[in-house]
């Protein structure tokens, strides 16, 4: 998918994120320029410590850049207040993590419902949307279960349902297959691919699994030492085998 | 986040660490119970003292005398020859119409010769208002109170009764005869003050014996040994010292009183009546200063009891802080997740506040209940002890409704203050760091 300027979902300009650790200054992200079009599925590859998760956190609004700016759907994140940034995380982005990050004391239903509590969605609408989201990831019958009662793949599917329940336009996935076996990893990426097909849904996925990225992502970016190393692989057509109903 | 969701999440979180949160709540409850117990004791003691003092008739009473009166309680004041109002029926009615005034009666007492068993005895007779039936001095009275306002009945002071009969109780039901000078208005007198004095005799039946004189040390100078109903005393028209002075005054209004006793609804109403009486040109005497000192004393007692009671609550507040700080450490990752899902700093702060408030409300309510139960037990124990000591039963423990509401509100306030730091700390958590926390 080509990305024209007026269809940009994410635009990062000279983004830096430096940390001071004792006497040392760590340049986790060092002057990155990035443009991702609306509806693109971009994989961000790199070795551990290359700065890819830091960049993802900056785009997610969980962290603020030391320099540069990030514009997502026309909103400059650097200009947002803390409360506005929380609103941005609630409404614009959905996140999935390597460690799933489901809350262990809550049932799947409660976990998926949680973002809607922050978004002040009315209770009847919440129930409807939780059921839809769980059905989409094939966990409709497990809504009463707690995360510990599910397999890793199921937990990540539940995390995907939670990320989508507030109907975001950007899905940010941080090593979503990192804790999964190859079968479940592939299943998750197939689901993410399906989600990317939703109208206007942009996906940015951090991974170190090049093979899966090449199969599912339309564009691959590679990071090393806080910088982007070239454009990576050219946009790929969506794999035919990745098709399938999402419910 | 909506309030309903906030409290729902808080409830769920509190349930997750049930034992720890229950123990923290119990700590608050013990603190509140201690506060309620201490303050209830102070309030109970104050009420008991007020009750006793009110029943003594000393603290809700104002003695009114004419400034022209040489004797009485205003010896320091120089009598004014002219322009001084006299204590008559008009001013009595005027005072009686004032708000919070329960009754106004003259201080009628007169020396008399009393005959019993054919022997004469000198005695001072005093009129006793019917309201004195509630007076503390009549507690433990042998016999009974007057049967009516005009009953020819007398209550004797035990010391005087012993002069008549070494076994005072044997006097109950017997008659005594009193001789007194009656003031009889002359039908064709030139001035209303003109009167003649006639010797009268009246038989009175002894109905009761009391140990202490009602209003002792407050009314009049001469201690009375015999008490008769006040309406009867007034109707006897006994010659009073003021009557003779009235004769010397050219424009005497007629019947005057030596002094009037004004009884008000509560000791708090004394000041207003005092002011009115002074402005009306009369001398007053009351134990207002003593009442003020008593109130000040109990205010200080209450303050100290409150401080001691609050100490336990202060310790409990440290427990709340500790519980919430521990909860932040345990739920660090959860806080990170919530922030990643769109919770604002304010949402996180409010969630911790809601948890603190829930513990405060539960602890406060349980604490009040605990304090109340403790009070019931102590009241029960006190009653048994007083009965053993053959003393009248008293409740030393009192939990008014405002203390219940105040203690719960105070517990919530203390828990919210205790939650300030943990809540602010939770809200400030960096979500990236929190998500990395294992």
The per-residue pLDDT for range B382-408, each reduced to its tens digit, is 888 888 887 777 777 788 888 888 888
Q: Would you place residue B51 in the very low, low, confident or very high pLDDT band (cuts 50, 70, 90)? A: confident
Domain covering B60-107+257-286 in this structure, CATH number: 3.30.70.100
Which A residues, 100 through 119, put their C-beta within 8 Å of a C-beta on chain B?
A: 101, 103, 105-106, 110, 114-115, 117-119
Measured between beta carbons, the chain B residues lying within 8 angstroms of A89 are 339-342
Q: B347 versus A24: which is more confidently predicted? A: B347
Measured between beta carbons, the chain A residues lying within 8 angstroms of B338 are 114, 118
Coil, helix or strand at residue A98: coil
**What DSSP letter does each residue of B364-378 carry, written as one string?**
HHHHHHHHHHHHHHH
Measured between beta carbons, the chain A residues lying within 8 angstroms of B5 are 117, 120
CB atoms A90 and B341 under 8 Å = yes
Say yes or no to pLDDT of A245 above 60: no
Average pLDDT over residues A155-184: 91
Say yes or no to pLDDT of B128 above 50: yes
CB atoms B432 and A57 under 8 Å = yes
Q: What is the mean pLDDT of chain A?
A: 86
* Domains in chain B: boundaries: 3-54+294-436, 60-107+257-286, 117-256
Q: What angle do CA B385, B388, B393 make, to 5 degrees?
A: 60
Measured between beta carbons, the chain A residues lying within 8 angstroms of B432 are 57, 62-63
Residue B238 is given by DSSP the state B
Interface test with B, best of A49, A62, A122 (most B CBs within 10 A): A62
CB atoms B342 and A106 under 8 Å = no
Hey, what are A134's tokens? 């769980």
Task: Provide CB contacts within 8 A for A172, sequence distance 6+.
Answer: A56, A59, A60, A93, A94, A95, A96, A203, A204, A205
Please write the tens of the pLDDT for every residue from B183-234: 887 766 566 557 788 888 999 999 999 988 877 655 554 578 899 999 999 8
- CB of A1 within 8 Å of a chain B CB? The answer is no
Are residues B179 and B113 in contact, defined by beta-carbon separation less than 8 angstroms? Answer: yes
Buried-state track B217-245, b at ≥16 Cβ within 10 A, e below 16: ebbbeeebbbbbbbbbbeebbbbbebbeb
CA separation (Å) from A232 to A57, B197, B431? 21, 132, 30
CB atoms A101 and B337 under 8 Å = yes
Are residues B41 and B416 in contact, defined by beta-carbon separation less than 8 angstroms? Answer: no
Q: Is A31 exposed, middle or buried (0-12, 13-18, 19+ CB in 10 A)?
A: middle
- CB of B212 within 8 Å of a chain A CB? The answer is no
In whole angstroms, give the CA distance from residue B156 to residue B184. Answer: 27
Contacts A–B by Cβ distance under 8 A: 66
Coil, helix or strand at residue B107: coil
Strands A202-207 and A219-224, how do they pair?
Answer: unpaired
- CB of B85 within 8 Å of a chain A CB? The answer is no
What pLDDT does residue A4 have?
Answer: 43
Hey, what are A102's tokens? 């489901």
- CB of A169 within 8 Å of a chain B CB? The answer is no
What pLDDT does residue B303 have?
Answer: 84
Coil, helix or strand at residue B244: helix
Instruction: Give me the residue from B2, B12, B16 closest to A120, CB to CB.
Output: B2
Instruction: Give me the residue from B336, B343, B431 closest to A118, CB to CB.
Output: B343
Are residues B205 and B173 in contact, defined by beta-carbon separation less than 8 angstroms? Answer: yes
Say yes or no to pLDDT of B79 above 50: no
Q: B56 versus B366: which is more confidently predicted? A: B366
Please write the tens of the pLDDT for every residue from B286-309: 777 667 777 788 788 878 887 877
Interface pTM (ipTM) of the complex?
0.87
Please write the tens of the pLDDT for every residue from A74-95: 899 989 999 999 999 999 999 9
CB atoms B435 and A83 under 8 Å = no
Sequence-ordered alpha helix ranges (H) in B84-182: 89-96, 158-164
Please write the tens of the pLDDT for every residue from B379-389: 888 888 888 88
Say yes or no to pLDDT of B84 above 70: no
CB atoms B435 and A95 under 8 Å = no
Please write the tens of the pLDDT for every residue from A16-57: 999 888 888 888 898 899 999 999 999 999 888 888 899 999
Measured between beta carbons, the chain A residues lying within 8 angstroms of B337 are 101, 103
Are residues A225 and A47 in contact, defined by beta-carbon separation less than 8 angstroms? Answer: no
What pLDDT does residue B18 have?
Answer: 85
Q: What is the mean pLDDT of chain B?
A: 82
Q: Is A4 exposed, middle or buried (0-12, 13-18, 19+ CB in 10 A)?
A: exposed
Instruction: Give me the residue from B1, B5, B345 closest to A82, CB to CB.
Output: B345
Q: Would you place residue B72 in the very low, low, confident or very high pLDDT band (cuts 50, 70, 90)? A: very low
| Cα dihedral: A159, A165, A167, A170 (round 10) | -10
CB atoms A86 and B344 under 8 Å = yes
- CB of A229 within 8 Å of a chain B CB? The answer is no
Q: Å from B10 to nearest chain A CA?
A: 13
CB atoms B341 and A83 under 8 Å = no
């Amino acid at each position: 998918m080509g990305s024209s300027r007026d269809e940009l979902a994410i635009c990062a300009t000279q983004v830096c994120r430096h940390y001071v650790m004792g006497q040392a200054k760590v340049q986790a992200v060092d002057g990155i320029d990035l443009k991702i079009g609306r509806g693109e599925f971009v994989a961000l590859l790199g070795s551990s410590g290359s700065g890819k998760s830091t960049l993802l956190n900056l785009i997610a609004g969980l962290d603020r850049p030391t320099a540069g700016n990030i514009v997502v759907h026309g909103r400059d994140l650097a200009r947002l207040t803390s409360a506005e940034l929380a609103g941005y995380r609630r409404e614009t982005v959905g996140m999935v993590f390597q460690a799933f990050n489901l809350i262990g004391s809550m049932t799947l239903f409660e976990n998926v419902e949680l973002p809607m509590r922050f978004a002040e969605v009315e209770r009847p609408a919440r129930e409807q949307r939780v059921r839809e989201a769980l059905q989409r990831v094939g966990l409709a019958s497990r809504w009463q279960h707690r995360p510990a009662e599910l397999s890793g793949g199921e937990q990540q599917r539940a995390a995907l349902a939670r990320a989508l329940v507030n109907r975001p336009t950007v899905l940010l996935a941080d090593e979503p297959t990192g804790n999964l076996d190859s079968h479940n990893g592939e299943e998750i990426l197939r689901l993410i691919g399906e989600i990317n097909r939703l109208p206007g849904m942009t996906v940015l996925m951090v991974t170190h699994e090049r093979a899966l990225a090449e199969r599912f992502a339309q564009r691959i970016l590679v990071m090393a030492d806080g910088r982007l190393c070239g454009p990576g692989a050219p946009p790929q057509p969506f794999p035919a085998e990745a098709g399938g109903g999402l419910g | 986040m909506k309030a309903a969701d906030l409290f729902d999440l808080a409830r769920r979180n509190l349930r997750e660490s049930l034992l720890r949160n229950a123990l923290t709540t119990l700590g608050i409850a013990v603190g509140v119970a201690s506060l309620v117990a201490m303050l209830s004791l102070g309030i109970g003691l104050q009420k008991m003292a007020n009750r006793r003092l009110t029943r003594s008739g000393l603290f809700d009473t104002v003695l009114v005398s004419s400034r022209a009166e040489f004797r009485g309680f205003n010896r320091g004041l120089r009598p004014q020859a002219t322009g001084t109002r006299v204590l008559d029926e008009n001013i009595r009615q005027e005072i009686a119409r004032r708000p919070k005034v329960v009754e106004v009666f003259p201080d009628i007492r007169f020396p008399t010769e009393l005959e019993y068993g054919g022997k004469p005895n000198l005695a001072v007779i005093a009129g006793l208002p019917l309201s004195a039936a509630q007076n503390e001095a009549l507690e433990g009275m042998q016999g009974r109170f007057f049967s009516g306002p005009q009953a020819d009945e007398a209550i004797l002071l035990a010391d005087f009764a012993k002069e008549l009969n070494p076994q005072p109780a044997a006097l109950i039901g017997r008659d005594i005869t009193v001789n007194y000078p009656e003031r009889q208005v002359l039908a064709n007198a030139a001035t209303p003050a003109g009167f003649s004095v006639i010797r009268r005799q009246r038989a009175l039946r002894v109905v009761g014996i009391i140990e202490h004189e009602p209003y002792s040390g407050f009314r009049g100078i001469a201690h009375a040994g015999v008490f008769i109903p006040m309406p009867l005393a007034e109707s006897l028209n006994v010659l009073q010292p003021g009557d003779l002075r009235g004769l010397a005054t050219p424009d005497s209004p007629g019947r005057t009183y030596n002094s009037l006793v004004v009884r008000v609804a509560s000791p708090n109403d004394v000041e207003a009546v005092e002011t009115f009486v002074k402005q009306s040109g009369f001398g007053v005497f009351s134990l207002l200063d003593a009442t003020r000192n008593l109130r000040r004393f109990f205010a200080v007692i209450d303050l100290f009891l409150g401080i001691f009671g609050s100490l336990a609550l202060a310790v409990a507040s440290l427990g709340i802080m500790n519980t919430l700080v521990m909860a932040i450490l345990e739920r660090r990752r959860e806080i990170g997740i919530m922030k990643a899902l769109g919770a604002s700093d304010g949402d996180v702060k409010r969630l911790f506040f809601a948890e603190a408030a829930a513990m405060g409300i539960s602890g406060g309510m349980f604490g009040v209940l605990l304090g109340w139960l403790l009070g019931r037990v102590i009241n029960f124990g006190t009653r048994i002890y007083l009965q053993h000591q053959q003393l009248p039963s008293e409740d030393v423990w009192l939990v008014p409704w405002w203390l219940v509401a105040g203690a719960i509100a105070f517990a919530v306030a203390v828990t919210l203050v205790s939650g300030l730091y943990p809540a602010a700390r939770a809200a400030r958590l960096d979500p990236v760091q929190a998500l990395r926390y294992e």
